[in-house]
Amino acid sequence: MIPLADLEAATRNVYAAMSPTPQYAWPLLARRAGCEVWVKHENHTPTGAFKVRGGLNLVAQLAVREPGLRGIISATRGNHGQSLAFGARRHGVACTIVVPHGNSRDKNAAMREFGAELIEHGRDFDAARERAFELADERGLRFLGPFEPELVAGVGTYALELFRAVPDIDTVFVPIGCGSGICGLISARDALKLATKIVGVVSTEANSYAQSFRARKPIATATAITMADGMAVRVPVPAALEVILRGAHDVVEVTDSEVEAAIRAYYDDIHQVAEGAGAAPLAALLKAPDRVHRRMAVILCGSNIDRDLYARIIGNG
């Protein structure tokens, strides 16, 4: 859990590079859902995703604490890697990112343009993460996992913005990849002493966190093949799961077809581009049984979706 003082301190590193993102209540989404729907627009960051906040705070603090830092390395499906590359370039730190084969072309291109050395390895995120850990030892680089405290504190700044801008939210729906987004929300909610329920959202095809939440212990899955690549994780992060078990109201599953329908809803109702993980919270809200006449919020965590995939989804509508 991240204390309020650390969340507040992170805002200084985040706002040195970007402005707070907006949150809007959209009438057409409200009509579709049958309730008040606030959208936190993390698709409006410099990398098109919420993760940039974590990278900015983490690398800024490392640059101060470890001035002789040789370089950083991590694994990603895209948004985490962009955040580290973006933050590393601001502080003159070398950045290496490992991605699985078949990763998003657009996310790969963005990471390279932000200055990262990109290495492709393995069939999925978890295999790429293992290779990144090996390379850190071989090259003398600082390995950064997806759940560093400074990263979660940076990500949690979006939750401070949302909760301070919109009072009395009943429930927030947030996607779960490695867990920084939902844990930042839980930390901010608890630090502000709010009663808002937080519901994590995963794919039916990558549901390790849902299984782990129900079993109250870590459960890995054999595969994580979903079009919502930001949620394509087979192995839950133990530290993240611990926070989720203590602070989440529930973890629910959505199908790829439900996510695609939510992507179309975002385009039709508010003309916003959402990637799979970014649309998953809306997909979960739209089938929540207790949503009517309540003030709800969804985290549109990113818009980084390949053009061909987006065209197919919108065309299928």
Answer yes or no: do 108 and 188 share one domain.
Answer: no
Answer yes or no: do 270 and 170 share one domain.
Answer: yes
Q: Chunked in runs of 10, what are the mean pLDDT values of the chain (317 residues)?
A: 95 97 98 97 97 96 91 93 95 96 92 96 92 96 92 98 98 97 98 98 98 98 93 94 98 98 98 98 96 96 95 91
SS3 215: helix
Please report the pLDDT score of residue 101 as a whole number. Answer: 96
Answer yes or no: do 111 and 188 share one domain.
Answer: no
Boundaries of domain holding 208: 4-50+150-316
Cβ-in-10-Å burial (0-12, 13-18, 19+) of 288 comes to: middle
Answer yes or no: do 157 and 293 share one domain.
Answer: yes
Domain total in the chain: 2
Answer yes or no: do 137 and 161 share one domain.
Answer: no
N-terminal to C-terminal alpha carbon distance within the chain: 41
pTM of structure: 0.94
Beta-bridge partner residues of 118: 97
Last residue of a domain, one of 84, 111, 146: 146
Please report the pLDDT score of residue 126 as a whole number. Answer: 86
Answer yes or no: do 29 and 173 share one domain.
Answer: yes
Last residue of a domain, one of 117, 146, 175: 146
According to DSSP, residue 43 is labeled: G
Please report the pLDDT score of residue 137 as a whole number. Answer: 95
Last residue of a domain, one of 105, 121, 146: 146
Distances in whole angstroms, Cα of residue 26 to Cα of each of 32, 70, 207: 10, 46, 30
Answer yes or no: do 131 and 161 share one domain.
Answer: no
Answer yes or no: do 79 and 172 share one domain.
Answer: no
